[in-house]
Amino acid sequence: MRALSEQDIRTSFVNCSKGEAKRLPLPRDMEELPWDDLDFLGWRDLSAPDRSYIVTERRGELVGITLRFPSQSRGFLHRSMCSVCLTTHPGNGVSLMTARKRGQAGRDGNSVGIYICTDLDCSLYVRGKKLPASGRRFEESLTVEEQIGRTRDKLAAFLDTLSA
Ligand SMILES: [Zn+2]
């Protein structure tokens, strides 16, 4: 994805208030992020450890979402495979994160969940730029390009459920 500015990120959020989007902490060292290798930008909120954020492009527009995840004791070991990049992780490498739906449905308290790499580095796992703690990712018959396409499709499908 293209390198984003602070303004790009703050105006992309679709499932939180404008005030929240203005205050949330941005990823560190943004100039140094491997933008060319990212299908989406994902980061944890270091001041609120149950929160994380994802910004990606969808149909030519930036879409940012805020996510929450339960304490590790509850989320622990429910599933070890990320549903976005299909990387298997030991321990708490995968978390069930929930995102508030867009619009009124979200304000009414409705949310949807997704099992995703806790560090949100799916893009890097798919490209072999980062390895899970187990030291290897399972062999896939798909090419890296195909896996990248699948990763984007999976995330897009999740984003669609926020407005469904
Ligand atoms: Zn993943």
Q: What is the pLDDT of residue 135?
A: 80
pLDDT tens, N- to C-terminus, the chain (164 residues)? 999 999 999 999 999 999 999 999 999 899 999 999 999 999 999 888 899 999 999 989 999 999 998 765 554 555 589 999 999 998 889 999 999 999 999 999 999 999 999 999 999 999 999 999 888 888 889 999 999 999 999 999 999 999 97
> Separation of 159 CA from ligand 1 center, angstroms?
15
- The C-alpha atoms of residue 99 and residue 20 are separated, in whole angstroms, by 14
Distances (CA, A) of 122 to 83, 93, 125: 10, 11, 5
Sign of the Cα pseudo-torsion (7, 11, 16, 19, in order): positive
Q: What is the pLDDT of residue 110?
A: 96
* Dihedral over alpha carbons 105, 58, 37, 55 (to 10 degrees): -30
Strands (E), the chain: 40-44, 51-58, 61-68, 94-100, 111-117
> Separation of 154 CA from ligand 1 center, angstroms?
10
> Separation of 143 CA from ligand 1 center, angstroms?
17
Unique residue bearing structure tokens 């992020």: 33
> Separation of 137 CA from ligand 1 center, angstroms?
11
> Separation of 116 CA from ligand 1 center, angstroms?
5
> Separation of 141 CA from ligand 1 center, angstroms?
18
Q: What is the pLDDT of residue 123?
A: 98
Neighbour count for residue 27 (Cβ, 10 Å): 18
Sheet strands side by side (includes 61-68): 40-44, 51-58, 61-68, 94-100, 111-117
Neighbour count for residue 114 (Cβ, 10 Å): 22
